[in-house]
Amino acid sequence: MISVNNEQQVQAGPLTQMGLFDHEQVVFCNDNATGLRAIIAVHNTTLGPALGGTRMWPYATEAEALTDVLRLSRGMTYKAAVAGLNLGGGKAVIIGDSRKDKSEALMRRFGKFVDNLGGKYITAEDVGIGTRDMEYVHMETKHVTGIPPALGGSGDPSPVTAFGVYMGMKASAAERWGNDSLSGKKIAVQGVGNVGSHLVEHLVKEGAKVFITDIYEDRVAMVKKKHPAVEVVAGDKLLGLDIDIYAPCALGATVNDESLSELKCAIICGAANNQLADEVKHGKIVMEKGILYAPDYVVNAGGLINVYSEVAGFGTDYAMKQAENVYVTTAGIFALAKKENIPTYMAANKIAEKRIAAVAHIRTRR
């Protein structure tokens, strides 16, 4: 099992960083005419082509963007493996403000870079990217999913992602309290974008007491208007709440030294990728503090399941049924972690790595 702490990764050069998690390929993309600056990371293609979304974010440095795309692409490999999909793991990041810097030309130029990989990497939407952006990418390559239904795609994968997280949360509740009901539970949702807002809807319908926060006030206002019962909390106040479940649904690394000193919850279960700032260090601390952590790439697999359904030619009903199985998968990971007395992230990794190794063995046999 490969375990690398955050400090090791940040201090290493690009090629060394690739080696830390055994990445196959990293492509740096630049186009002065459109302002495109992007990185595509292909982690592992043992199980199939690397599929993973494109994220657009105003990273402070190129090194920060590289660290993020490497961690995200590795997570996609494990996500596909645990979900039982015939896909490898990849991811892309575009450096920039999605609300100001996006354009048709930029997205189409990015599509050309994706196309140059010849199907080794299939892209989709992620933070800062929507179905309209995927339409532009689709104009330049067929290696894209999440395009609108009118173009033969499955559309926005967010509802399926949110449903999977909801199932994972119910499995977590069953493990912690012996009952999977979320009625009356105090749940803090950090980030109410496409996925977070759909998750809030599930939680409100079940009768949970929901607290929300987001860096964008318009998102908060929309969710509050739709669900008046939710309580809006300032971002710097969220971690200090006395809650049952913390649901990070924005960017990663929110489970860190600072947050763990403030968090008052029994469960961490959300849609964000790479929630543990340092997988090894913080995975162990979470376990020692008695907090049940639902591995992020397990519970947020619904989006990948949705776009896989599109690639494989299956329908939405198939995607929702598979997302419902996140409950069983999450419960199985908790059982293994308990049996071997290991952190839950490590149990999930072991399951993923076992499947990848088994398939690699089959493919190398004559």
User: Residue 5: what pLDDT?
Assistant: 52
Q: Which of 362, 290, 324 is nearest to 160 (CA)?
A: 324
User: Residue 11: what pLDDT?
Assistant: 59
- Residues 216, 344: one domain? yes
User: Residue 4: what pLDDT?
Assistant: 52
User: Residue 1: what pLDDT?
Assistant: 40
Give the domain extent around 227. 158-301+330-351
User: Residue 9: what pLDDT?
Assistant: 55
Q: Tell me if 222 is assigned to some domain.
A: yes
- Residues 201, 128: one domain? no
Q: Tell me if 309 is assigned to some domain.
A: no
Q: Tell me if 50 is assigned to some domain.
A: yes
Q: What is the pTM of this model?
A: 0.84
- Residues 192, 335: one domain? yes
- Residues 176, 275: one domain? yes
Annotated active-site residue 142? The verdict is no
Q: Which of 50, 54, 55 is nearest to 81 (CA)?
A: 50
- The CATH number covering residue 218 comes to 3.40.50.720
Q: Which of 128, 104, 106, 103 is nearest to 31 (CA)?
A: 106
Q: CA-to-CA distance for 73 and 66, rounded, in angstroms?
A: 11
How close are the terminal C-alpha atoms of the chain, in Å?
Answer: 26
User: Residue 63: what pLDDT?
Assistant: 93
- The CATH number covering residue 64 comes to 3.40.50.10860
Q: End of a domain among 151, 181, 201?
A: 151
Q: Tell me what percent of the chain is helix, strand and coil, each rounded to the nearest 5.
A: 50, 15, 35
- Residues 207, 122: one domain? no
- Residues 268, 197: one domain? yes
Q: 247 and 271 in contact (C-beta within 8 Å)?
A: yes
Q: Tell me if 214 is assigned to some domain.
A: yes
User: Residue 363: what pLDDT?
Assistant: 66
- Residues 216, 258: one domain? yes
Q: Out of 91, 102, 170, 209, which one is annotated catalytic?
A: 91
Total of domains in the chain: 2
Q: Tell me if 268 is assigned to some domain.
A: yes
Q: End of a domain among 104, 125, 151?
A: 151
Residues of the chain with pLDDT under 70: 1-12, 154, 363-366
Q: CA-to-CA distance for 141 and 116, rounded, in angstroms?
A: 9
Q: Tell me if 216 is assigned to some domain.
A: yes
Whole-Å CA distances, 131 to 43, 54, 137: 24, 11, 10
